[in-house]
Amino acid sequence: MPERRTVALVTLGCARNEVDSEELAGRLAADGWELVEEAAAADVAVVNTCGFVEAAKKDSVDALLEANDLKDHGRTQAVVAVGCMAERYGKELAEALPEADGVLGFDDYADISDRLRTILSGGVHASHTPRDRRRLLPLSPVERQQATDVALPGHGDTAPAPADLPEGLAPRSGPRAPLRRRLGSSPVASVKLASGCDRRCTFCAIPSFRGSFISRRPADVLGETRWLAEQGVKEVMLVSENNTSYGKDLGDIRLLETLLPELAAVDGIERVRVSYLQPAEMRPGLIEVLTSTEKVAPYFDLSFQHSAPGVLRAMRRFGDTERFWELLETIRSKAPEAGVRSNFIVGFPGESEEDFAELERFLGAARLDAIGVFGYSDEEGTEAVSYEDKLGSDVIAERLAHLSRVAEELTAQRAEERLGQTLHVLVESVDEEEGALGRAAHQAPETDGQILLTDSAGLVPGRMVTAKAVAAEGVDLVAEPLGEGAGR
C-alpha cells in the first residue's frame, strides 16, 4: 500500500479564510490525505493567504517563504498558495514568488487533491489569470442562485458525497452544503452565511476577487451548525463580507431574522454570534432579533469606517455622527449591555482636520467595546487610488497614532463600565499558569478582548459559566464565577 501523503494547512486572515481552509481539509481528507498540524511534518504545505491590505499581503508572503525554508531541512517537498492573494494575483504572484510551487485560485478548490498530487509529482499546474469575479455572475441577485458553475469557497459543490465519509468529516445536509473537517478543537467555529459583496466602497478591492454577493441556503447553514454542535462546538459565528444582505438573492432580505432563532435552537449550541454588519442596512427587525433572542449574542460588529459625512461619501458609504449615535442608542435601549465593535480608516484622501476631529468626537461618545484603527493606503484596483487629494504619509501616521491612543483609552473605559455586570462566559482554554480564559457575549474571538476567571476549578473548554466582572485590564476583564451552579 502506498504511503499516505501528508498536508498541512496554514491559514492567515479572517474567519472566512478559516472556513475555507476547513473545506479544503474536508476535501483532502475525503480523498485519502493525512492532515497534520505542522508544515514541517507535511509533504505539502498549503498557505491560505490574505489579500486585503498591504500588511496582510506581507504576512502571507512571509508565511510562504517560511514554509519554503522547510524544504531544505524537513519533510516538506512543496509549498502551495491558495486564498485571496492567490486568487487576486494569480500568475503575477507565481512569477514574483518562485518559491511557491503552485498558486491556486478558487476554481481549483474542487480539485485540490489532484492539483497537489500533480505538484508533488513534479508537474506544473498553470496559475490562473485574475479576473473580476463580479462579472462571472448575473447582475440580478435573484438569478445568481442558478449560477452553479462559479466557485464559492465555503459553500461546497453539487457533487454527491462519498457513501462512507472518513471520521471527522461533515456530511452534506443538502446539495450545496460543504464537506468540512475541523482543524482545531476550539469550542467556537465560524459558519459562512454568504460569499462576495455588492457594495462598491471606493477603498475596498474584495468584491473584485470574492465576487458578487451570494447567500447560502438556510438548510445548509442549519445542517452545518448541527454537525458542528455534534463535534463539540458551543458557539457559532456567522461570517460573510456583509451579513445584513443575507437572503436578498433568495427573495427575502429578512431571512436572517428567521434563521437566527433556528440556529439558536440547535441542540448543544450555547451562543450564536453575527459578524460583519453594515450600519446603512440595519433594520428594526434585525436589531430586535439580535437583542431579544435567547442564545443569540447581543453583539454588533458595525462597519462604520468613519463618521464625517464628506469622508463617508468619498468612500461611497452612508451616515454621519448623529445617525450612528442614533443607531447605537436604538440598540442599547433594547439591550443596555450589548457589545459593539467597529473599524475606522484615518487619512482617507480628502480627510480634513475637521473631518478627523469629527471622527474623534463620534468615538468619544460611542462607547464601543473594541475599536480597530487603520491608516489609509492605496489598494490597486480601487476607485480611491485615482483620487487626487491624497494626504502625506507623515500626516496619516500621526493621525493613526493619535486615534489609536484615543481608542485604547476609550475601550479601557468601556471595559470598566462593565464592572459589576453578570456575564455569561464561554470557557475557551484552561491552563495551570494562565487559569481559565474565555469570552463573554460582547467579545468576539481574536479581536475583542477576553475574560480571566478567578477560579478554574472544574472548568473545561466549552463550558458556559455565569460570572461577575470584578476588575478590568485594558479591554480584558477579570470575572468571578457565581457559585456551584454557575456553569453548564
Q: Burial code of 358-375, b = ≥16 C-beta within 10 A, e = fewer?
A: bbbebbeebebbbbebbb
The torsion angle over the Cα atoms of residues 167, 168, 174 and 176, rounded to 10 degrees, is: -120
Cell numbers at residue 201, please? Answer: 466602497
Distance CA 363, CA 411 (A): 10
The rounded distance, in Å, linking the Cα atoms of 420 and 63 is: 43
Residue type for position 138: P
Whether 7 and 36 have beta carbons less than 8 Å apart is answered as yes
How far apart CA 116 and CA 39 sit, in angstroms, is 15
Cell numbers for 302:
458595525
Rounded to the nearest angstrom, the gap between the alpha carbon of residue 237 and the centroid of all alpha carbons in its chain is 9
Separation of alpha carbons 249 and 355, rounded Å:
36
Query: What is the chain's percent helix, strand, coil content, to nearest 5?
Result: 40, 20, 40
10 annotated to a ligand binding site: no
- Annotated binding-site residue? 64: no
3-state secondary structure 248-311: HHHCCCCHHHHHHHHHHCCCCCCEEEECCECHHHCCHHHHHHHHHCCCECCEEEECCECCCHHH
Q: Is there a binding annotation on residue 55? A: no
Separation of alpha carbons 402 and 220, rounded Å: 45
The verdict on whether residue 50 carries a ligand-binding annotation is yes
The reply, when asked if residue 14 is annotated as ligand binding, is yes
Q: Is 204 part of any known ligand binding site?
A: yes
Residue 177 grid coordinates: 452544503
Longest CA span, the chain: 71
For cell 451548525, the residue is 225
Distance CA 81, CA 90 (A): 10
Q: Known binding site for [4Fe-4S] cluster: residues? A: 14, 50, 84, 197, 201, 204
Q: Known binding site: residues? A: 14, 50, 84, 197, 201, 204
